[in-house]
Amino acid sequence: MDLHSAGSMVLQALTQATSQNTAELKPAEEQLRQWETQPGFYSVLLSIFNNHMLDVNVRWLAVLYFKNGIDRYWRRVAPHALSEEEKSSLRAGLITNFNEPVNQIATQIAVLIAKVARLDCPRQWPELIPVLLEKVKVQDVLQQHRALLTFYHVTKTLASKRLAADRRLFQDLASSIYSFACSLWNHHTDTFLLQIQTGDQQEALSSLERTLLSLKVICLSILLCLSCVCVCVCVCPVGRQVGPGHACREKLEKTIILYTKVVTADFLEHHPYPFIPLIQRSLEFAVSFVFTPVGDGLLFERFIVQCMNLIKMIVKNDAYRPDKNIEDSKPETLEAHKIKTAFFTHPTLTEIAKRLVSKYFLLTEEELIMWEEDPEGFAVEETGGDSWKYSLRPSTEVLFLDIFHNYSQTLTPVLLEMMHSLQGPSNVDDTLQLLMKDAVYNAVGLAAYELFDSVDFDQWFSSQLLGELQVNHNRYKLIRRRAIWLIGQWIAVKFKPELRPLLYEVILNLLSSSFTLLNSSSPVDDFEFRTEQFLPYLECIFGLLFQLLQQVNECDSKMQVLHVLSCVIERVSIQIRPYVGCLVQYLPLLWKQSEEHNMLRCAILTTLIHLVQGLGAESRNLYPFLLPVIQLSTDVSQPPHVYLLEDGLELWLVTLENCPSITPELLRIFQNMSALLELSTENVKTCFQIVNAYTYLSASDFLQNYGEGLCRSFCELLKDITNEGQVQVLKVVEIALKVSPLLAPHVFQPLLPAVFRGVLDGERYPVVMSVYLGVIGRVVLQNSSFFSALLSQMALESNQEMDQLLGNMIEMWVDRMDNITQPERRKLSSLALLSLLPSDNSVIQDKFCGIINICVEALHDVMTEDPDSGTFKDCMLVSSLDEPKLSDDEEPPSEQDKRRKLLALEDPVHTVSLQQCVYEKLKAQQLLMGDAGFQALMETVDTEIVRQLQEFLQGL
């Protein structure tokens, strides 16, 4: 493409491409797309966006096309790659223009140059960095800023490269530019301070922008080059002259935050040992501004958060904590610990703790107004996760926790003194006293585990907190809210069970009047909870919680109330049944209302899980609502499944486990399973449990409707799956064979030959071999005709005799019996091999010795001796009379537990005495062969094995 002749054509196309008229826009975009691969196109684009006389939108579009072209065509191996000659020309042209007047275009050009630098610098573009360093030194303000902007983006892009060789190159670059970046920082900072003194706001803003860019370059150099040491000092004091309405205020705050966050906190996080020389100065800096009058009039919220995070990271840093054996500690660690110990003296720690509680823990006027105007929004506190990194209240609480944990001996008396100073009821007209008590109670709750031996909480609850919870004055709601939260913090630490009824009565009073309990599931969600103590209050508390669920409007509020309801249902189990009618009627409406709020729907699913478990078989009444919910949550073609799938699968599983009998609608949901198994996600284990639950529930209906598709899914899974996954799949097949021995072998026939071959080949992983033998054992024992057909099919495919395959299988079975560790499977193997007797087949008779060896091993596993009579009994036999009595704290069996019990009553492993079976099979073999033949057969067995066998068969 000739630069001169094509320039006007490209310019016209770009102009049309900025049009709002689609008749012009679409053809222009298509024309530009065709030109993308033409030689010279990007040179034309360069000339267009460097021409400041053209329309801004056209130049903007030219930059974007150029930038996108770098991603597609700059690499040598790319299709239609740019020639080396054109790239060389473009690189030269990109660093000749640092006077772009439009900020947005200047930023895009800087990003564009950085993209090229990532691919070509320094090898093909060695002159880039020297040119940028030279341009940054010019006197022209605009050129200096644009060069510095480009310098930052290039540095940022080069720092992001991850290959070791590239990182070494950047570390060399960082070492060379660090000093220069620091000099820029100091120069522009001094210039900014001078301009602030003279009142030149616009010039000061320009200098501050260059200060910020210089600092960003320094940050990148520090994080990736350990030879760089931070020497900059933040310019917070200038904040007194740069008030809230000042033009530089926003940019100045950004600069200060960047300094405290990246140069200190991030550097400390990644390189704790090089940071050691800065510990003292950093602590002095942060503590003086946040916890002394030095910071008065200067502080803003994000700066306070960053300073607190800096102190926390120094206090908690493992690199600064000596080993228990001091001699094993690194010298750097001991040095850091010495600095910390010297800094955190008793007066300093006392002042920090008191300031945290008395200043930063106090509820602000904005928070109190919010409580009055939006109690739900106020009650939903921002806690957990990484909120301490960005929000003031979580950061103050996390800092308090870490300091208290590390210096508890010093700070415990300080906090106890504050606590004792607020004993007794507070004056409802003294707002400051109420706020102070709220803050101290907050501190005592956060430090509950540290104060375990210092606070008699039971006595405090009875003498102080209980009375305060009963004060009904509206202004005292501040203390009521904090007191119930405080009890929630301590209940798992130190709280007598005898006091719980008093607590439940208080909760009843609180629930009937406010949002106080939105966050308090602790009284029913701890290890010491006793159901019998809670039952007298269950009806009232559950009813009030349900009323609260209806009253609140915010999603977060409803989620928290649902969480408490779920905890109550889970803890009282079947005792909840008389009281859930109202909730059951309300949940469908709430589900419909929450269509746009997937996290609320997750909370509803969790509640339904506990509800179904509590209702047991009665949960069938919920199916008109429950089954569509499961259908939607587990349908991967529906967008909400991304949020709902995990809880939806759990709900599906508990619904099946508690279902008394199959319904067409419940069976139909299994249509979702095929797509779920294709995902092969971490939820596949739950999917297998669901398949098992369907098998236990109604094997015939389930396998007839979905068996073929399920087998196809399993065959696909087995093609590319780990050994553990293979075991999980075959365990599902094994259960199907156990539940439906006649139908299941035909359903899963396509994958059984692979299992058979695995046995013959001597699968080397013991767990896999064990499950292989379990699957084959079920077929041999419970469907001999199918096994004969399978053996015939395998013989035909492998061009071998059936007897030869049978002999090889028995030989491998005997040889790998030790791979089977479960007594149930060991007995199954014995019964399966015994089912081949009596036989006049010479192959089976040749393997008779091995079969008897396996049987004797299994007899040792399952037979227990009666010490009184000296007789043996098969411990795996079960009967309908073996119903264990449930203790008070045991949950009744689910419907699936009952089905498994009934299945055991039909399973040969649990109904056939191995001792009796061995005896009868040997007798039958003796009748078949005659005494002489049988005696010759028994002589093939080791005499010690025969002796042990006779002991087990004694008395039969």
Residues 889 and 793 in one domain: no
Residue 184: strand, helix, or coil: helix
pLDDT tens for residues 528-560?
778 888 889 889 888 888 888 888 888 888 888
Residues 531 and 601 in one domain: yes
Residues 810 and 893 in one domain: no
Burial class of 649 by CB neighbour count within 10 A (0 to 12, 13 to 18, 19+)? buried
CA dist 175 and 32 (Å) reads 43
Q: Is the distance from CB of 239 to CB of 298 less than 8 angstroms?
A: yes
Q: Is residue 237 part of a domain?
A: no
Tell me the backbone φ, ψ of residue 526, rounded to 5 degrees: -140, 170
Strand partners, 873: 864
CA dist 730 and 767 (Å) reads 11
CATH number at residue 95: 1.25.10
How many other C-beta atoms are found inside a 10 Å radius of the C-beta of residue 866?
Answer: 9
Q: Produce one character per residue of 821-854: b if its CB has 16 or more CB atoms within 10 Å, e if not.
A: eeeebbbbbbbbbbbbbbbeeebbbebbbbbbbb
Q: Is residue 597 part of a domain?
A: yes
Domain extent, residue 452, equals: 344-386+409-511
Q: Is residue 941 part of a domain?
A: yes
Q: Is residue 914 part of a domain?
A: yes
Question: What are the Cα distances from residue 523, in Å, to 165, 489, 530, 613?
Answer: 58, 10, 10, 21
Tokens of 113: 């140059």
CA dist 422 and 436 (Å) reads 8
How many structural domains comprise the chain?
5
Residues 582 and 710 in one domain: no
Tell me the backbone φ, ψ of residue 322, rounded to 5 degrees: -65, 155
CA dist 805 and 785 (Å) reads 16
pLDDT computed for residue 622 by the predictor: 93
Q: Where are the alpha helices (DSSP H) in 552-622?
A: 555-572, 581-593, 598-615
Strand partners, 872: 865
CA dist 598 and 640 (Å) reads 7
pLDDT computed for residue 627 by the predictor: 96
Residues 15 and 155 in one domain: yes
pLDDT tens for residues 344-364?
999 999 999 999 999 999 999
Length of the chain: 956
Residues 538 and 636 in one domain: yes
Tokens of 657: 């486990």
884 DSSP 8-state letter: P
Q: Is the distance from CB of 905 to CB of 911 less than 8 angstroms?
A: yes
Q: Is residue 150 part of a domain?
A: yes
Residues 365 and 473 in one domain: yes
Residues 368 and 486 in one domain: yes
Pairing of the two strands 863-865 and 872-874: antiparallel
Tokens of 170: 């950047």
3-state helix, strand, coil in the chain (%, to 5): 75, 0, 25
Residues 568 and 486 in one domain: no
pLDDT computed for residue 511 by the predictor: 81
Domain final position from 121, 139, 160: 160
Domain final position from 670, 705, 739: 670
CA dist 660 and 622 (Å) reads 13
CA dist 41 and 54 (Å) reads 18
Q: Which amino acid is at 504?
A: Y
Q: Is the distance from CB of 658 to CB of 895 less than 8 angstroms?
A: yes
Residue whose C-alpha is closest to residue 780's, from 808, 760, 810:
810
Q: Which helix (H) or strand (E) holds 14?
A: helix 3-17
Q: Is the pTM of this model over 0.95?
A: no
Q: Is residue 240 part of a domain?
A: no
Residues 351 and 500 in one domain: yes
pLDDT computed for residue 631 by the predictor: 96
Q: Is residue 802 part of a domain?
A: yes
Residues 95 and 145 in one domain: yes
Question: Which residue do the tokens 């006091």 mark?
Answer: 499
Positions in the chain whose pLDDT score sits under 70: 1-5, 162, 165-166, 170-172, 174-176, 221-245, 262-266, 297-298, 381-385, 513-522, 525-527, 680, 868-870, 880-890
Determine the longest span between alpha carbons in the chain, in angstroms.
122
Q: Is residue 294 part of a domain?
A: no
